[in-house]
């Protein structure tokens, strides 16, 4: 059970209501994490702007950013974010087979070398940030320019925040991302959302 209950649309100001409605249109629901942050409106609004700038702007493919966020969440153990990112990876055209094969990214033909470099960094940084090495960045520079590397690391850092937020708050997992994650990752033995 969540430690703090999320707010509903009729409990927030117009700007947050519009943000909630945007999530509902694009995902089919508004994440409980955002609705809980809304108890401090400026936190939720700032998070929304940061989320937009990191995940939906720039030149790194959105599919890869979603997979990087998923890998970061797997590494940290945040099953709420794993479920959400399996869902968003699917929305941004990652096939279920690729989402399911995340643990085999080093050997699977579903991943190219650039994706492998980004996911490798996400797994290291998601577990222990100072495990990231100069070699990891040398590898990334083969496939991405410095601005794109900033996008990848920003994605990892954004999910460091969200992983800690959701696990600490015991955020209630919504039904839809739970179902998508179960379909995409359930067979691999990692579960879809401990905060059901």
pLDDT at 139 over 70: yes
Give the model confidence (pLDDT) of 74-118 as tens digits. 999 998 999 999 989 988 889 989 998 998 999 999 999 999 999
Average pLDDT over residues 178-188: 71
pLDDT at 195 over 50: no
pLDDT at 162 over 70: yes
CATH number of 61-188: 1.20.1290.10
- Per-chain mean pLDDT for the chain: 91
What does 48-99 look like in DSSP terms, one character per residue?
Answer: HHHHHHHHSSSSS-HHHHHHHHHHHHHHHT-HHHHHHHHHHHHHTT--HHHH
Give the DSSP H or E segment for 132. none
pLDDT at 190 over 70: no
Place of tokens 């970061």: 72
The residues spanned by each domain of the chain are 61-188
> CB-based burial of residue 113 (10 Å sphere; 0-12 exposed, 13-18 middle, 19+ buried)?
exposed
CA angle 190, 158, 29 (to 5 degrees): 65
Give the model confidence (pLDDT) of 45-83 as tens digits. 999 999 999 999 999 999 999 999 999 999 999 989 999
Q: Which two tokens stand for residue 128?
A: 């222990």
Query: 38 — phi, psi (to 5°)?
Result: -60, -15
């Amino acid at each position: 059970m969540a430690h703090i209950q999320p707010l509903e649309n009729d409990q927030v100001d117009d700007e947050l209501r519009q943000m909630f409605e945007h999530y509902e249109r694009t995902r089919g629901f508004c994440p409980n994490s955002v609705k809980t942050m809304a108890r401090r409106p400026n936190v939720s609004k700032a998070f929304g702007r940061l989320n937009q700038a990191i995940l939906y702007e720039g030149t790194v493919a959105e599919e890869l950013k979603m997979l990087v966020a998923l890998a970061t969440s797997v590494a940290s153990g945040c099953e709420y974010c794993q479920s959400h990112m399996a869902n968003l990876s699917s929305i941004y055209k990652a096939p279920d087979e690729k989402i399911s094969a995340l643990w085999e990214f080093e050997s699977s033909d579903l991943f190219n070398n650039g994706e492998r470099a980004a996911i490798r960094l996400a797994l290291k940084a998601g577990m222990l940030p100072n495990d990231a090495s100069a070699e990891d960045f040398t590898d990334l520079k083969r496939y991405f320019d410095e601005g794109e590397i900033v996008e990848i690391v920003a994605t990892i850092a954004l999910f460091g925040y969200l992983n800690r937020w959701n696990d600490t708050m015991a955020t209630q997992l919504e039904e839809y991302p739970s179902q998508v994650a179960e379909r995409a990752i359930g067979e691999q033995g990692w579960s879809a959302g401990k905060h059901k």
